[in-house]
Structure 1
């Protein structure tokens, strides 16, 4: 009799601990989501570009795509098979990263929001977003700079909704020399 009561108590206690852990996990996830939403005070570029990726994948537009490597250039009319890869340079930019916190200066002039980065050690130097009168992005430009002892990279990204996108990159690698490439797609 004592053994069955103790076993029953143990099972009930284990169930109570399991239920508490499940609810605690849910509350932690809810708290993390709330903190993330509160922290997202700058324009959410990853979400915007995910919407664009989804829209473009569905529409499957024909693109005039130009690829340039150093002084060689080729242009073709294509359907992009993987918009996630095509726009990955844009989608990877997140103004709400903790590393940028406290280092962004925001200016707004004539429906253009400019985010300037005050720490030269950060990879981003400037992000500009031109909004339409209803507050939707029309054009986004991004300037990135990375410099260390092995290489220096400058990247310029532009995305104009329903018009074109551009990824332009200059890279100076110690010992290997300079590289330049450009990818431009026109809708």
Structure 2
């Protein structure tokens, strides 16, 4: 039985040593498409530091509420935008990229992808001035469509339509104007 313990210990040691890699050996993964997640993480950090006042309006079906607030957690506030990131290794060829003047558009070529369309508009100096995103999810019990718009330093808008078979349709809009 002692030979088993020695062999077992040696195998564990070899496995542990071969599994370890230093940070400089990690593969350098390049983004195929515009880095939505990185862009919105950067925006969340920037907005958290500048703490702008936001005129926020929430419309839920037919009722609206408007408040002037400071957003405490910008990462959470922009989470739907970040969740629309299309830079996943398995999606490398899943979007058609078209470039027209100052607008780059990413259109899903596969029906099952949640993020259907991303449009990015840049000004003459290359700064992003508008990001538009359209998401769609559908199955037997549930369908959802989201239209997201983000104008840096100005406005963000989230419009969502949901239809849950047993509960019916629901629509809400969140709009934040940065001041």
Query: Does TM-score exceed 0.5, indicating one fold?
Result: yes
Counting only pairs closer than 5 Å after superposition, residues 91-170 of structure 1 correspond to structure 2 as 91-170=82-161
**Greater share of helix residues, 1 or 2?**
1
Report the number of matched residues. 169
Q: Please list the CA deviations of residues 41-63 of structure 1 after superposition, one character each: whole Å capped at 9, or x if unmatched.
A: 21111111011000100000001
Instruction: Kindly report the root-mean-square deviation, in angstroms, between the aligned alpha carbons of the 2 structures.
Output: 2.2
Kindly report structure 1 stretches of 4+ aligned residues shifted beyond 2 Å.
Answer: 24-27, 29-33, 98-101
> Where does residue 77 of structure 2 map in the other structure?
86
> Where does residue 185 of structure 1 map in the other structure?
176
Give the match's secondary structure for 1:166: strand
Give the match's secondary structure for 1:52: helix
Contact 1:143 1:154 in 2 (8 A): yes
Give the match's secondary structure for 1:26: coil
> Where does residue 20 of structure 2 map in the other structure?
25
Could you tell me the TM-score, scaled by structure 2's length?
A: 0.86
> Where does residue 49 of structure 1 map in the other structure?
40
Q: Rg bigger for which structure?
A: 1
> Where does residue 7 of structure 1 map in the other structure?
none
Gap runs ≥5 in structure 2: 1-5
1:124 Cα deviation (Å)?
1.3
Q: Please list the CA deviations of residues 45-99 of structure 1 after superposition, one character each: whole Å capped at 9, or x if unmatched.
A: 1111011000100000001000011100011111111111111001112121234
Contact 1:100 1:122 in 2 (8 A): no
